[in-house]
Amino acid sequence: MQKNFEMLQKKCNNILMRCFLTASVRNFPLFFLILFLGCQSKNVIEIDLHQNWSFAYENQLYSATIPGCIHTDLMNIGIIPDPFYRCNEDSVQWVSDSIWVYSTTFSGKEINKFKHAEIVFSGLDTYAEVYLNGAQLLHTEGSNLCDNMFRPWRFPLPKALKKKDNELIIKFLPSKKINQEKAKQLPYTLPDNRVFTRKAPYQSGWDWAPELVTCGIYKPVKIVAWNDFYVENIECVQRDLTDDKGVIEIIATILSDKEVRVNMWVKEKGIKQKTEGVIYPGVNKISQIIEIENPELWWPNGLGSQTLYDFNIHISTHKLFKVRWGFRTIELVQEKDDIGESFYFKINNIPVFMKGANWIPAHSFVSEMSNEKGQARYKHLLESCKDANMNMIRVWGGGIYENDYFYNLCDELGLLVWQDFMFACALYPADSAFLYNVKKEAEFQVKRLSRYPCLALWCGNNEVKNGWEDWGWQRNYTTEQRIEIGKNLHTLFNELLPGVVQTNDNRPYHPSSPLWGWGHPECLTEGDSHYWGVWWGEEPFEVWLPKTGRFMSEYGFQSYPQMSTIELFTLPEDRYLESPVMKNYQKHPRGVPIINRAMEQYAYIPDSLEEYVKISQEIQAYGIGKAIEAHRLKRPYCMGTLYWQLNDCWPVASWSSIDFYGNWKLLHHTVKEKFAPVIVATEELENGTTNIYVINDLLHDIEGDIIVTHVDGTTAIIPFHAEANSSTLVSIAYKKEIIQNVLQWDK
């Protein structure tokens, strides 16, 4: 179906100017806006290349949207149907197996006035070859091929461009075929071929995601041209924080082709400081220490304000750069005790119980999150986290490193970020080329994200250690192969990634989440825990309390999205649970039987789909609500609860509390209640009595009354005094059966 590249290139040369249609220009992340504002000067120009792109299909050129991807471009012109409707996912699989070619033209007149020029691709997904005026273009690492969607690629331009109509062509290669070729080079078979490519793993399908392996220019692309020197990056590093002062260092990375004296001015409200320095040919760094007297602290949601300081930076002839910072300290405390080892966060020297959820990519097509509609989606989801009293989001390792808009919002909303590197549920190669690629990715992402005060933790992967130890993979290998694979994992997650973090950031690093799988007794006594005995193990909700670990970073239960969402991907004849369409939107192989079992235990199995959806959400909310109560009740033994999962990447039955279209499920309303700063929680004892606790996340003691309603309709009042930042047992072995607790306290 796809013509070969030579024919496409010839076709592009012949009809490019006749067939180009103007592509819509998308908003791009704040980080790139900052660089654009900062680098326009007589010595530097930046030219966005977001317009006049086309892609080739069956010997014709069609308008492309940049940033974008091939699936959305094909949908926009009606070549493929919406894969989020009925069973259309199956009908678009051919797209992933094809070669796709994108092209545009640009003028070289202004660029030729500068000594240095390069094209900077902020994100190419994923295997891409770049051509200029019919010739291969080599990136700064000496190859024509890009092979990692998680890092930018820079292509130096030739000295003399054509005054106009320089033709830029990007050829995207199918990742599946390349994965298969790389897999053949190993003497053994890894569980999943997608690991050979540094590409968002969830695109290949998950038990909540469709298989939509896309490609495209999914982030901004620009031309940068400069004389003498160019400010490549601005970093902000907190060096010290006391009650009296906060100290940060502003660091500028500058490329230069000559010896030049430069000035760096930093301004923040009434502060204005100047640094002078000399830069030399090559890569230079100049820095300035800034002290803020009596700084206001940045606090997680619920504990204080999210004070952010804005620093304006001028470097000689370059214009304005902006950096934003919030003063806070973050510490991950892992100390041996008589039970095992603690796992909790101190923020500004205060132990903080983390309340939150796991974040997956908010769309199957990542580029859809870079426009205004995508930003609105980010804003709604993250504001919903704040509204539900959360203070932490875990960016899961099977998705993507989110864009700058996401982290800016987390800064503003007081949402700490647990950041996984993008490795999940698989074994990975460790040849020199792969490790080099990962190191470049990690260096870029750590430097980029270290500018955000919300970032609390770097984690090496999701469930790789767990999978290697517990999922039966080791049975497939010889002793020698097991030793080699184990060494590869250690090299990647215990040497390379922590080394990058230590060199480029001061946040803590955790090698793998969870530390132990849920079948190990250690999962309850040390590290973080993914407790999937409920759901995967089909255990009842009553096990949450005895199965509470030191930090619960994953657990969950499925439900269906509301009927208005289901109606958007079905026809009336599809709306029964076992229809082919409804089965396509239940990706877990045992999803319906597990939900049915819980319905039988806690409610009933309804006959209609409408009632089934309603009861599924009630069961999910009840079960996860009980888990949150159990985890909070057991503080300080347990110091965090992050349920799986906050959101969806398409309309689907899943563990989410907010569906793809932004609708709160009943679970999210329950989460808001259970994550409130002060709640009542109960512990049912074997003798039929109940312990009653007041959990107080506030930083001061509180007093009040609990109005208890019994099964027989009578009530009682239990006065309490709850200590600050703690779980307080206020009634021991309460004898009457309780149906409701109402908390009253002086706020």
Identity of the amino acid at 700: H
pLDDT at site 739: 77
When comparing pLDDT for 244 and 13, which is higher? 244
Of 15-19, 158-162, 289-293, 462-466, the range with the lowest mean pLDDT is 15-19
Indicate if the pLDDT at residue 741 is higher than 90: no
Active site residues: 463
Domain range annotation of the chain: 5-174+215-224, 229-325, 351-558+636-674, 680-745
Under 8 Å CB-to-CB from 514, ≥6 apart: which residues?
A: 463, 465, 466, 523, 527, 528, 529, 530, 553, 554
Confidence of residue 78 (pLDDT cuts 50, 70, 90): very high
Beta bridge partner(s), residue 204: 211
Mean pLDDT for the stretch of residues 606-631: 98
Report phi then psi at 367, rounded to 5.
-60, -20
Mean pLDDT for the stretch of residues 710-725: 92
| Structure confidence by residue, pLDDT tens digits, 407-420 | 999 999 999 999 99
What single string gives the DSSP state of each residue in 282-338? EEEEEEEEEEEESPPBB--TTTS-B--EEEEEEETTS-EEEEEE-B--EEEE--B-S
Q: What's the token pair of residue 273?
A: 């400081």
Q: What's the token pair of residue 561?
A: 């999205």
Element (H, E) at 36: helix 30-39
Q: What's the token pair of residue 200?
A: 């968002």
Confidence of residue 743 (pLDDT cuts 50, 70, 90): confident
pLDDT at site 4: 41
| Structure confidence by residue, pLDDT tens digits, 372-382 | 999 999 999 99
Indicate if the pLDDT at residue 620 is higher than 60: yes
DSSP annotation of 475:
G
Report phi then psi at 180, rounded to 5.
-65, -40
Pairing verdict, β 392-395 and 416-420: parallel
Report d(CA 76, CA 342) in Å as an integer.
52
For residue 241, which of 168, 292, 306 has the smallest C-alpha distance?
292
Mean pLDDT for the stretch of residues 31-42: 40
pLDDT at site 36: 33
Mean pLDDT of the residues in the chain: 93
What single string gives the DSSP state of each residue in 635-680? TTT--EEEES-S--SSS-SBS-SB-TTSPBPHHHHHHHHHTSSEEE
For residue 327, which of 349, 309, 354, 345 has the smallest C-alpha distance?
309
pLDDT at site 687: 87
- Percent of the chain at pLDDT exceeding 90: 87
For residue 249, which of 333, 175, 177, 311 has the smallest C-alpha distance?
311
CA 471 vs CA 208, 414, 464, 519: distances in Å: 20, 37, 10, 11
Q: What CATH number does the domain located at 351-558+636-674 have?
A: 3.20.20.80
Of 1-15, 26-40, 239-253, the range with the lowest mean pLDDT is 26-40
At residue 144, the 3 state secondary structure works out as coil
Q: What is the pTM of this model?
A: 0.93
171 with 144: CB under 8 angstroms?
no
- Map tokens 């906050």 to a residue: 646
At residue 449, the 3 state secondary structure works out as helix
pLDDT at site 319: 65
Mean pLDDT for the stretch of residues 35-48: 66
DSSP annotation of 681:
E
Mean pLDDT for the stretch of residues 609-638: 98
Confidence of residue 711 (pLDDT cuts 50, 70, 90): confident
440 with 151: CB under 8 angstroms?
yes
Element (H, E) at 413: helix 404-413
Of 83-92, 193-202, 688-697, the range with the lowest mean pLDDT is 688-697
| Structure confidence by residue, pLDDT tens digits, 639-670 | 999 999 999 999 999 999 999 999 999 999 99
| Structure confidence by residue, pLDDT tens digits, 552-591 | 999 999 999 999 999 999 999 999 999 999 999 999 999 9
| Structure confidence by residue, pLDDT tens digits, 156-197 | 999 989 999 999 999 999 999 999 999 999 999 999 999 999
Superfamily of domain 5-174+215-224 in the CATH hierarchy:
Galactose-binding domain-like (2.60.120.260)
Indicate if the pLDDT at residue 14 is higher than 90: no
Mean pLDDT for the stretch of residues 460-487: 97
| Structure confidence by residue, pLDDT tens digits, 317-330 | 776 889 999 999 99
Mean pLDDT for the stretch of residues 59-82: 97
Indicate if the pLDDT at residue 228 is higher than 50: yes
pLDDT at site 476: 96
pLDDT at site 41: 59
106 with 113: CB under 8 angstroms?
no
For residue 151, which of 213, 222, 215, 199 has the smallest C-alpha distance?
199
229-325: CATH topology: Immunoglobulin-like (2.60.40)
